[in-house]
A and B are shown apart, each in its own frame.
Chain A
Amino acid sequence: MRIVAERDRCIGAGNCVMTAPEVFDQGEDGLVTPLVDEADPVDPASVDAARRAVDRCPATALRAVED
C-alpha cells in the first residue's frame, strides 16, 4: 500500500501525525509531509495506522493506493 497526500487540500489538523507518526509529519507551514515517498510502499507494520489516518483525515487530503 502506498500513500498519496494532496497538500492543496490539507488543513493542518494534524490527525495523521497523531495517528501514524511513522508515516506522516507536518512542514513548517503545518501542512502534511509524508515520510514515505508516494512511489514507495508503506512499511507493513505501519499499514493499519496509515489506513486509519487516511480514513480520519478531515480534509480528505490522503489516499491509500493498493497496487
Chain B
Amino acid sequence: MTEVSEIPLHMRRAQFDPISELGEVRDSAGVCPVVTPFGVPAHLVSRYDDVREVLSDSARFSTADRRALTPPDAAGPTEEEYARARVGNLLSYDPPEHTRLRRMLTPEFTMRRMRALEPRIVDIVNAALDDVERAGKPADLVSTFALPVPSLVICELLGVPYADRADFQRRTADQLDASQPPQRRLALQQASRAYMATLVERARRDPGEDILGMLVREHGDDVSAEELVGIASLLLLAGHETTANMLGLGTLALLRHPDQLARVRDDPASVEPAVEELLRWLSIVHAGIPRTATTEVTIAGSTIAAGEHVVLALPGANRDPALVDDPDHLDITREPTGHVAFGHGLHHCLGAPLARLELRIAYPSLLRRFPGLALAVPYEQIAFRPYSVIHGLQALPVTW
C-alpha cells in the first residue's frame, strides 16, 4: 500500500478541500514538481489561467505519450502491454486520431438528446429512491443511490447488461485506486477490455439501439473492434465513477450546509447553479490525464522541456481567486463560473451534458423524497477515498 505521505500534492484533501499547500503553490510560483500516483515525475500547474492554457493547447501538450503514465524504470508491464490497453481510449489520442473517434460520439450527447433522455432518468432516480425507502433506514447512500443511478443510466445508454454491475464496478474502482500496484491495475484494465470485447462482438452480430449498436451500424467500417472496446470501456468507467462520486460527495456537502440544502430542495431555479457550484467546489477529478510537452514551453515563468510531463491541478484552478471571489466558500447562489471540473480543450468531458442532467435530477429528487435527510453517524466518521484518482466517499450512512 502507498503511505499517506506519498499521495501527490494535487490528490491530497482535507475532506472536501484541496490541502492548503496547493493554494500556497498557486499563490507563489504557480508551478511545482510532483510525482504522479503512477510514479512519473512531472510539473504541477495550479492556476486557473495556466491550467486552461495547457489544456487548450493540444499541439504543445500531448496526451498520446505513454511515458506520462509509466514510471521510467518500471519492472512492471511493458510498453506494448500498456499500448494495447489504451487502443480506442479517447484520452490517449491527439488530433487528428482523437477527432475521428470523438466525432463518432458527439451526436449521442447533444442537449437535444439529453432532453429526450430526461424522463427515463427521472424514472431511474425514482425507482432507486423507492428501493432506498423500502429497505429502510439507516442506509448507505453511496451503494444504494449514488452508484446505482449513474451505473444504470450508462448501462442502458451503452448497451451493457446492468446485471454485470458488481463485477465492472469493482474493477473500475480498483483501476482508479493509485494504491494498487501497476501490474494489478493493468490486469484489471485487461479484464475490463476482455469483458467489453464480448459485448462488442455481440453488437457486431446484432446491433441494438444503444451507443454500441449505433457505432457498429454507422461506423462499423471505420472503427476496429479493438477501438470499439476502448471507447466503450472508457464510457462505462467515466459514466459511473464520476457522477456517482459527485452524487455522494455533493449530498454530504449539502448536508454540511443546511441552508443551501434547503434551497436545492425547495427552489427549482436554484438547482442548475447549485450543480455548477458543487462541480467547481468539489472538483472531484484531481487532475485530468497528464500531458507531455512536445516542445520547450514556459508556464508561469517555469521552463518545461520537451518530453517532460505536466499535471493539471483542477481543484487548484477551480479554487483560484482569479476565477471567483471567496473561492473556498461553497455558495450555490453564485452566477455559474467557467470552472474546469470537466476539463478544458479537446478532451473536455464528452459526457458533461449527461452528468449535469443526472445531477440536476438526482439531488432535488433525493432531498424532496427525504426532507429529514441526515447523517446516521458523526461527520468525523465519514470515510473519504484517499487514494482514488477521483475524489469521493467510501460510504455515506444516512437516516431520515
Contact = CB atoms under 8 A, between A and B. Distances in A.
Contact of B109 (A14, A52, A56): A14
Contact of B344 (A29, A31, A58): A58
Contacts of B205: none
Given A11-B106, A55-B338, A58-B56, A26 B112 contact: yes
A18 B107 contact: no
A28 B346 contact: no
B242 interface: no
A13 interface: yes
A63 to B, nearest CB: 14
A17 interface: yes
A59 interface: yes
A59 B345 contact: yes
Q: Please classify the interface of chain A as helix (H, G, I), strand (E, B), loop, or mixed, using the class held by over half of its residues.
A: loop
Given A30-B107, A30-B110, A60-B56, A13 B338 contact: no
Interface in B93-135: 102-103, 105-112
B60 interface: no
Contacts of A26: 110-112
Nearest to B56: A60
Interface in A19-64: 26, 28-31, 52, 55-56, 58-60
Contacts of A15: 348, 352
B352 A13 contact: yes
Nearest to A8: B99
Contacts of A30: 103, 105-110
A11 B110 contact: no
B102 A11 contact: yes
Given A11-B348, A12-B109, A12-B110, A56 B338 contact: yes
Contacts of A18: 111, 353, 356
13 contacts: A12-B107, A13-B348, A13-B350, A13-B353, A14-B109, A14-B111, A18-B356, A29-B103, A30-B108, A31-B106, A58-B343, A58-B348, A60-B56
